[in-house]
Amino acid sequence: MGSQRRRWLLLFSYDKGTKGDFRRNIAIAGIFIVWSIIIFLPFYRAPEIPALPVDGNGHLFKVYKLIQDGWKPWINDWYTGYPFLKYYPPLSYLVAAFFGKILGTPIRGLAITLTLFSLIGMASLYKLTKNVPLSLLYPTLLAHSPIVTIEGAYPRLCALLVAPAFILGAKLILEGSAKEITLGSMLVSIVLLTHHSALLPLVVLMAVLYLRRIPSGYNIVRAIGIILVLTAFFYVPFILDYRYSNFFTITKHPYLFEYTSIKLKEILLSKYLLLMVPLLLTLLLSVRKTIRHITLAVTLIILATGYYSPVRSFYSLPLLSKMLPYRWLDVLPLVLVLGSSEVERKSIVKITAVALIIAVTLVLPYSIGGMPKDYLELAEFLKDEKERDWRFYVVPAVAPYSYLPALTGKLSLNGWYHEGNPADKEYSRMVYVVDRVIHHGQDNNLAEHYLLPYAARFFITSIQSPVPKPYKYVGKIGRFRIYEANTSFFTPVDLLIVGRFYDLPYRYIYMPSLTDIPQGVRTVMYLGEPKKSEERILLGFVKEGGTLIVIPERAGEFLGIKSVLIAMPNVTGFAPFVYEGKTWYGPVFKGNLTPIVKVSNYTLIGFKDVGKGRIYFIGGNLLFHSLYWNSSKELNFIFSLAKHENASLEYGNFIIGDTMFRATLNSTSGVAAIISIAYYPYWKVYIDGREVKVWRDYRTGLMVVSIPKGVHKIEGVYRDPFINLRYYSLLGWVLAGAYVLTRRKKTGKIKPMRPLSGPDR
């Protein structure tokens, strides 16, 4: 910008003395608006229920949910419930929902949002480059990129569309006045609130291309303060509750690291990237000015190769380990466009940009069709089913099924943002055991112990395959085969397993360690060696009539009984005690035990009575032995020692909303019950108006409470402690906007703004 330019607040300043400039700016603004609509015309022409690629319908559901119910901090439509938009920046969804509410459909709201974000990005890019064709080319490249046509990753697309605003905002923060620092902070906040994965590449871009000297500490501190206020409603809960999320560290998942990396050959032969080669060649016309851009472009390509990269070890760094490698290419078009703006031969750059706009539009066309007929018929079938105390699960689980709750009004075990699912670890185990059933026919009775507590009444497959027990075939709609099982939203459980985790074909609650025991539990099975603090709890439980089964893995003294490690001989009635052809070692017991099975002078399985209850000691690493040899006889024997009470738990008057549930329970005895909602610390449960303790079942990820005998009213409420931050941030946006838009009364000639770049710096 030349030093004669006046201080500005908006893109196109208007000097009353230069009507030609004003008209030109109006014409440019008109071109930008029209082109922002044209490049996203498929979204305006899409059917009301569109079939979007990969992630698309998952994103569209969130827009629908906001339109219908507003921004509730918890929703039950997906998985077994999850905190809505706590771990995914919400701005693009909120804007799309606003316009979708006005226009009547989520897809139209999304179309307007893409246009609006594109317009902001073009305006910012024009302010940076003063080049209309380049400003038009950048969103055109993004609108036809794999982000749209393959991934359907619309919030990430929105962040990239407004990425020039991030660059412009950062430059204002570094070198602007107080008012420009505020405007710059607002522009940066827009990107931060749209998608977090765009932040790291943009910071790298800004540092390489524009950071020539140490910025003013005052400007940075002021900007950070403003940005914190503007983004607090999202980033404060995100950071404080990050431990409850499930973001992948990609280097810990080699298959994911490899899958999200791109081979160099694939990058160079990509039709989309090949179209950018002419843009890259223009940078060679002024290498001295564009060497940073060329270097950065090459670096981005190398980083995108990830798993195949010579700098593969970089991905072990904390921030890089959360970044999917291929996403480094997201900012490549911006780097090339910014570099081209530095080229001295402007006419060649403009011609190249116009040619590329035409080429991209012709070579990479796309359209959006409607959902298949059988999909809509399946939605109608589910919608007609009564009540909402159950879920459906469609496999193989792909993104389009995550939109079904919008069409059915029913809860779905499908979802499309695993990072926000607080029961993701347990849910992933369920996916694994179900996959073994439908693809390999291996049903070892594990799947039902996830699906039934998850209240998955309907199990629906789009392929012909085996299904888990106890689902029964009820009908077929197009390619969808529908199976049904009896389910309950409240599952009574009287067995608690503590210690080492094994996925076993029985109903139980699992906890990795013990602080107390839910009332209603009749048997505790401890796998491993209890700590002294746990022994006190366990002894108290047994004295009151409970049954304890201890299965240690090493020698020691536990609950007053000593164990020693021996080479196990074969025992009649048991599988061979041999491990991979070698000797099997396991603990056996000596002391005051009533033996059930003896080995030499030791007890392999025995018990002792304590108070009103009984403790069983099982040696020989027998549980692992039964799994190693696939001995159902041994496994059934171990679990036959557990004491059960056939309690009946019925419920009625069931109501569920996004942040609450309510029911009347009738139990024939005191029971521990799994509630079919994911455990999260902000859920409070009340029985007859009194708050009760909520435990987490680490097998299913669901909530567990103790329910007394008789008829009782139960109510659950989700209380978000961060909800008021939304209002503080909204106030911050209003005040910041008012400050930026308010002009002081002129008292003389305006001092020109110090240039951000160029020869006048």
Q: 3-state SS of 684-727?
A: EEEECCEEECCEECCCCCEEEEEECCEEEEEEEEECCCCCCHHH
pLDDT score, position 313: 84
pLDDT score, position 465: 92
Identify the domain boundary among 363, 383, 410: 363
Query: pLDDT tens digit string along 453-491?
Result: 999 999 999 999 999 999 999 999 999 999 999 999 999
666 pairs with which residues across the strands?
650, 711
Q: Per the omega criterion (within 30 degrees of 0), is the bond before 470 cis?
A: yes
pLDDT score, position 252: 84
Work out the percent of the chain whose per-residue pLDDT is above 70.
Answer: 95
Query: pLDDT tens digit string along 489-507?
Result: 999 999 999 999 999 999 9
390 shares a domain with 354: no
Backbone angles phi, psi at 643, to 5 degrees: -95, 130
The span from the CA of 457 to the CA of 124, in Å, is 51
pLDDT score, position 18: 53
User: What tokens were used for 204?
Assistant: 């790298």
595 shares a domain with 565: yes
269 shares a domain with 321: yes
User: What tokens were used for 67?
Assistant: 């339109």
pLDDT at 644 over 50: yes
177 shares a domain with 46: yes
pLDDT score, position 318: 82
337 in a domain, yes or no? yes
pLDDT score, position 755: 41
609 in a domain, yes or no? yes
Mean model confidence pLDDT for the chain: 92
Q: Which residues contact 203 (CB under 8 A, 6 or more apart)?
A: none
pLDDT score, position 19: 59
Q: Per-residue confidence at 344, pLDDT binned at 50, 70, 90?
A: confident
pLDDT score, position 759: 38
User: What tokens were used for 156?
Assistant: 């990430």
560 shares a domain with 471: no
pLDDT score, position 97: 98
Spell out a b/e string for 388-409, using b for 16 or more CB atoms within 10 Å of the CB, else e.
Answer: bbbbbbbbebebbbbbbbbbbe
> Where in the sequence is the domain holding 394, given as residue range(s)?
373-487
pLDDT score, position 3: 40
Q: What is the pTM of this model?
A: 0.91
The answer to whether 587 and 563 have CB atoms below 8 angstroms apart is yes
Q: Which residues contact 701 (CB under 8 A, 6 or more apart)?
A: 80, 422, 423, 424, 425, 426, 427, 678, 679
622 shares a domain with 712: no
Give, in order, the Cα–Cα distances in Å from 297 to each of 136, 264, 371. Answer: 20, 13, 39
Question: Of 410, 333, 344, whose CA–CA distance to 141 is shortest?
Answer: 333
Query: pLDDT tens digit string along 163-188?
Result: 999 999 999 998 888 999 999 999 99
The answer to whether 548 and 526 have CB atoms below 8 angstroms apart is yes
550 shares a domain with 446: no
7 in a domain, yes or no? no
The span from the CA of 470 to the CA of 203, in Å, is 53
Arithmetic mean of pLDDT, 745-758 = 44
Identify the domain boundary among 442, 459, 487: 487
704 pairs with which residues across the strands?
674, 695
How large is the angle between the packed helices 725-741 and 217-240, nearest 10 degrees?
A: 150
pLDDT score, position 749: 45
Q: Cβ–Cβ contacts within 10 Å for residue 154, how many? A: 27
pLDDT at 7 over 50: no
331 in a domain, yes or no? yes
pLDDT at 621 over 60: yes
474 shares a domain with 427: yes
Interior angle at CA 728, CA 722 and CA 734, nearest 5: 145
Domains in the chain, number: 4
Query: pLDDT tens digit string along 187-214?
Result: 999 999 999 888 999 999 999 998 877 7
- Pairwise pLDDT comparison (9 vs 559), residue with the higher score: 559
Arithmetic mean of pLDDT, 549-567 = 93
574 in a domain, yes or no? yes
The answer to whether 481 and 461 have CB atoms below 8 angstroms apart is yes
CATH number of the domain encompassing residue 711: 2.60.40.1180
The answer to whether 92 and 154 have CB atoms below 8 angstroms apart is yes
97 in a domain, yes or no? yes
pLDDT score, position 596: 96
User: Three-state SS string across 345-356, please?
Assistant: CHHHHHHHHHHH
Q: Cβ–Cβ contacts within 10 Å for residue 367, how many? A: 9
478 shares a domain with 540: no
pLDDT score, position 744: 63
Length of the chain: 761
Q: Per the omega criterion (within 30 degrees of 0), is the bond before 396 cis?
A: yes
748 in a domain, yes or no? no
Identify the domain boundary among 582, 611, 640: 640
107-111, 377-381, 415-419, 429-433 — which is least confidently predicted?
A: 415-419
pLDDT score, position 659: 96
661 shares a domain with 597: no
pLDDT at 14 over 60: no
pLDDT at 1 over 70: no
User: What tokens were used for 568?
Assistant: 């196990």
Give, in order, the Cα–Cα distances in Å from 661 to each of 38, 81, 676. Answer: 46, 12, 11
Q: Which residues contact 586 (CB under 8 A, 6 or more apart)?
A: 565, 566, 568, 577, 619, 620, 621, 622, 625
Interior angle at CA 261, CA 264 and CA 301, nearest 5: 45
Give, in order, the Cα–Cα distances in Å from 714 to each of 566, 663, 689, 717. Answer: 51, 6, 8, 10
632 shares a domain with 664: no
609 pairs with which residues across the strands?
614
Q: Containing H/E element for 603?
A: strand 602-610
Amino acid at 119: L
Q: Which residues contact 384 (CB under 8 A, 6 or more apart)?
A: none
Backbone angles phi, psi at 236, to 5 degrees: -65, -50
pLDDT score, position 176: 80
471 shares a domain with 418: yes
755 in a domain, yes or no? no
The answer to whether 313 and 320 have CB atoms below 8 angstroms apart is no
